[in-house]
Amino acid sequence: MYKPLVVITGKNGQLGWELSQLKVLNNFQFDFLFIDKDEMDLSSPESIPYFFKQHKPQYFINCGAYTLVDKAETEKELTRAINATSVGVIAAECAKIDCTLITISTDYVFDGNGTSPYLPNQATDPLNYYGLTKCEGEELAVKNNPKTIQDIMPLLL
C-alpha cells in the first residue's frame, strides 16, 4: 500500500528528536523519514537539490536550525546558511514537486514583549541575529513555495 512520504529535518535536535519518539505517528498512513546533516546538510544549501532528486516527499517538516543563539552573533554566515538560505532552497525544491512545507518558527522573530502565544500573522521584530535569520527563512519559504505552512500552532488551536 502506498503511503505518502513525510521528511522531517533535525532528527538529532530537540524538536526533530521529540517528533521521532511519538508512537502516535505509527497510526498515520504516512512514511516518516527523519534526517540530519548526514542526509541533507543545511549548512550547504547547494546540496539540497540532490536530496530532493533522491526523495520526493509529499510533506516536508523543517525542524532543523542553527539554534546556538549567542554564537549566531559571531557565526553569522553559518547561521544564515542554515536558518535562511537553506529554508529558501528547501521551499523552492518542495514547490517543484508540489510538496507542502511546514516550517517551524521561534519567538525570537518577535520583539519579546508578547503576553500570549504569537501567531504567524503578527508583525515581526527580531530580537537578535538568530531571530533575524529565522525570520528571513520564513519569508523565503512563503515566497518560494505557495504551499508553505509557517507554523502549525494555529492548526492546533
Starting at the edge strand found earlier in the chain, the sheet holding 59-62 runs 31-34, 5-8, 59-62, 100-103, 148-149
Query: If one looks up domain 5-156 in CATH, what number appears?
Result: 3.40.50.720
| Element containing residue 54 per DSSP (H, E) | helix 48-54
Each domain of the chain, given as residue ranges in start order, spans 5-156
DSSP string covering 113-146, please? --SS---TTSPP--SSHHHHHHHHHHHHHHHH-T
Residues taking part in catalysis:
130
Q: What is the pLDDT of residues 25-61, one digit of tens each?
A: 777 889 999 999 999 999 999 999 999 999 999 999 9
Give the pLDDT mean for 80-93: 98
More confident residue, 82 or 16: 82
pLDDT of residue 139: 93
**Per-residue pLDDT for 156 more than 50?**
no
